[in-house]
Structures are given as structure tokens and as C-alpha cells.
């Protein structure tokens, strides 16, 4: 047993030494870690509030912002942030008027992508960067981007922490929360602004088209695996971390796209969580019948 353990340790040490000898892999792991924690935590509330489609819409709107920023010579990340946060705040202010309006959100997606295409038409030199915005390119992250991601992560989690109690209350018992005087629209507006920030960070790792991979996959799996709120948040962040870390390792040794590896792992983990919950439910039924 000790020889197997020593062999396993040797293999892990060799792999980590090999990967982390490259600066771009160090940067990728740091950026992915920051983003995974934020995505797992914010995404948990997004799934709990059944607003995943709105989160996806924000990522597409952010694409228009990123391409527009490239057109005027500004970093695409800031275009993502400005457009995503602004759109999130607008959605929150509209409140129930856009609630469950998938058609309206779908049209917003199409319009945003249309503007993104228009901006690319007038600035073809941005085409390579646009691919990175759409599908992510964590291996190209530099120190400056890591600092920006860290700053955005701190801002995101601080704001989320400030609205945590009313957000939980309004998410789990909306009618009672409204009766108790909780400012529902304000909470919803601030939260969607926070989602816009998280989406902007997540897009740097997996791209705007695969935001669901980190912001929905791990939280949805966590809610299948545990029923507690705080344990769910912890499991969600942990699963997101596992997915990005394993995704980077697999991509490094296979030369597959990182976003693809993370997406496959996210889908696999969610499938395992679903099968486990179904198995537990079936076992409970058999025990009740017995």
C-alpha cells in the first residue's frame, strides 16, 4: 500500500512540476481558481432563483460590449463588464415585467449578438480576440488580467455578502419576504448586477457561449448532492474548482481546448449528481414501501 502511495505521489509531483514550470499555466490556474469560486457561489443563487436564462443573456450582451470595446481600442474585459452589469441592472429594474419572458430575453440575445457582428464587421482585426471572448482563452491570461479578475471577484463577493440575507429570504420565500417589507426589486437589481460581474469573469475562462459550464453546471450538481444552503454553496464552489483544475490538466496533456475539457467535466459531474439523486430517491421509495 505504501509503495502504491509513493508511486502516486511521485506521479502527481512530476505532473505538477512539469505544468507549473510554465508561467502561462501558473497564470491560468490562478485566474481559473478565482473565477471558479465566484462562479460557483454566484451561480448557486442564480440556479436557486431560476434565473439561469437571464444569466446566459447577460453573457451574450457582454459579447456586444467586448466587441464594441475592441472597436474603440479598449480592453474587451471592460466592455464585457460595463454591458453585462448595465444589462443586469436594467433587467432587475424592470422586475416582474420581464419575469419568465423567455421570448423577450431571447430577442435581447439575438440583438446583442447582432451588434457584436456589426462591430466585428467594422473592425476585422478584432476577429481573433472575438474567438477568445466567445470560447475563452485562459492560457493567454497575464498578470494584469489576474489582478483585474481578483479585484472584480472581491467586489462581486462583497456586494453579494451585503445582500445575502434579503437575497436568501426573497429567493426561498418571496411572498413572505415582500410582506415583511424586503425591497424585492432592489435586491433583484443588485443581484443581477452581481451576476453581470460574475459572467464577465467567467467569460475570461470559458467564453460567453459556455458560461453555463461554470455558472450553472456546478451549482445545479451541488443542489442535487446536498440540501443545505451553506453546504450547497461550498460544494458548488468546490465542484467548479475541480472542473477548472482538471480541465487545465487534461488540456495541457492532450492539447484539447480548455473550455471543451471544462464543459465535458461539468456535464459529467452533473450527470453523476442526477443519477445519484435518482438512486437515493428510489431507495427512499423502497424503504417507505417496506
Report the phi/psi class of residue 280: left, alpha or beta, with left for phi > 0 and alpha for psi in -120 to 50. Answer: alpha
Residue 92's contacts (CB-CB under 8 Å, 6 or more residues apart) are: 185, 188, 189, 190, 191, 192, 193
Range of 84-88, 97-101, 158-162 with top mean pLDDT: 158-162
> Please, what sign has the CA dihedral across residues 111, 135, 57, 204?
negative
Look up the CATH number of the domain holding residue 54.
1.10.3470.10
Residue 147: predicted pLDDT = 94
| Nearest residue to 134 (alpha-carbon basis) of 56, 59, 208 | 208
Question: CA 257, CA 248: separation in Å to the nearest integer?
Answer: 9
CA 2 vs. chain centroid, Å, equals 40
The DSSP code for 204 is H
| Nearest residue to 168 (alpha-carbon basis) of 158, 160, 159 | 160
N-to-C CA span, the chain: 41
Backbone phi and psi for residue 251, each to the nearest 5 degrees, phi listed first: -65, -35
More confident of the two residues 120 and 170: 170
Question: CA 130, CA 137: separation in Å to the nearest integer?
Answer: 10
pLDDT of 28-51, one tens digit each?
Answer: 999 999 999 999 999 999 999 888
Residue 134: predicted pLDDT = 75
Range of 11-15, 233-237, 279-283 with top mean pLDDT: 233-237
Computed over every residue of the chain, the mean pLDDT equals 83
More confident of the two residues 51 and 150: 150
Evaluate if residue 180 carries a pLDDT over 90. Answer: no
How many domains would you assign to the chain? Answer: 1
Stretch 10-31: mean pLDDT, rounded? 76
Stretch 130-140: mean pLDDT, rounded? 78
Evaluate if residue 169 carries a pLDDT over 80. Answer: yes
Residue 11: predicted pLDDT = 47
**What predicted TM-score, i.e. pTM, was given to this entire model?**
0.85
Question: CA 3, CA 136: separation in Å to the nearest integer?
Answer: 40
Stretch 8-14: mean pLDDT, rounded? 53
Evaluate if residue 266 carries a pLDDT over 70. Answer: yes
21 three-state secondary structure? coil
Stretch 234-259: mean pLDDT, rounded? 92
Show the domain range for 136: 2-289
More confident of the two residues 67 and 109: 67
Residue 99: predicted pLDDT = 47
User: 286: pLDDT confidence band, cut at 50, 70 and 90?
Assistant: low
Residue 184: predicted pLDDT = 85
Stretch 174-196: mean pLDDT, rounded? 87
Whether 46 contacts 188, CB under 8 Å: no
More confident of the two residues 60 and 225: 225
Question: CA 36, CA 178: separation in Å to the nearest integer?
Answer: 32
Stretch 73-90: mean pLDDT, rounded? 85
Lowest mean pLDDT among 56-60, 66-70, 172-176, 286-290: 286-290
How much of the chain, in percent, has pLDDT values that exceed 90?
Answer: 34
Amino acid at each position: 500500500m505504501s509503495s502504491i502511495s509513493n508511486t502516486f505521489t511521485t506521479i502527481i509531483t512530476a505532473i505538477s512540476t512539469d505544468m507549473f514550470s510554465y508561467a502561462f499555466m501558473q497564470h491560468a490556474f490562478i485566474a481559473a481558481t478565482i473565477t471558479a469560486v465566484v462562479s460557483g457561489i454566484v451561480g448557486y443563487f442564480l440556479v436557486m432563483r431560476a434565473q439561469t436564462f437571464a444569466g446566459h443573456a447577460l453573457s451574450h450582451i457582454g459579447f456586444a460590449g467586448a466587441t464594441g470595446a475592441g472597436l474603440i481600442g479598449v480592453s474587451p474585459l471592460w466592455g464585457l463588464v460595463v454591458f453585462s452589469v448595465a444589462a443586469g441592472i436594467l433587467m432587475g429594474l424592470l422586475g416582474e415585467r420581464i419575469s419568465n419572458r423567455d421570448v423577450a430575453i431571447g430577442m435581447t440575445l439575438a440583438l446583442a449578438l447582432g451588434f457584436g457582428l456589426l462591430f466585428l464587421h467594422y473592425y476585422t482585426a478584432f476577429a481573433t480576440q472575438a474567438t477568445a471572448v466567445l470560447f475563452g482563452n485562459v492560457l493567454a491570461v497575464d498578470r494584469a488580467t489576474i489582478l483585474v479578475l481578483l479585484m472584480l471577484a472581491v467586489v462581486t463577493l462583497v456586494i453579494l455578502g451585503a445582500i445575502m440575507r434579503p437575497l436568501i429570504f426573497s429567493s426561498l420565500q418571496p411572498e413572505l419576504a415582500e410582506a415583511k417589507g424586503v425591497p424585492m426589486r432592489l435586491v433583484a437589481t443588485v443581484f443581477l448586477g452581481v451576476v453581470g460581474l460574475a459572467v464577465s469573469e467567467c467569460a475570461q475562462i470559458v467564453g460567453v457561449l459556455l458560461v453555463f459550464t461554470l455558472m450553472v453546471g456546478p451549482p445545479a450538481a451541488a443542489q442535487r448532492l446536498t440540501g443545505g444552503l451553506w453546504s450547497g454553496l461550498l460544494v458548488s464552489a468546490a465542484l467548479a474548482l475541480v472542473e477548472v483544475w482538471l480541465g487545465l490538466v487534461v488540456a495541457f496533456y492532450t492539447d484539447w481546448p480548455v473550455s471543451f475539457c471544462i464543459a465535458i467535466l461539468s456535464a459529467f459531474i452533473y450527470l453523476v449528481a442526477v443519477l445519484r439523486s435518482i438512486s437515493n430517491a428510489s431507495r427512499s421509495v423502497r424503504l417507505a414501501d417496506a
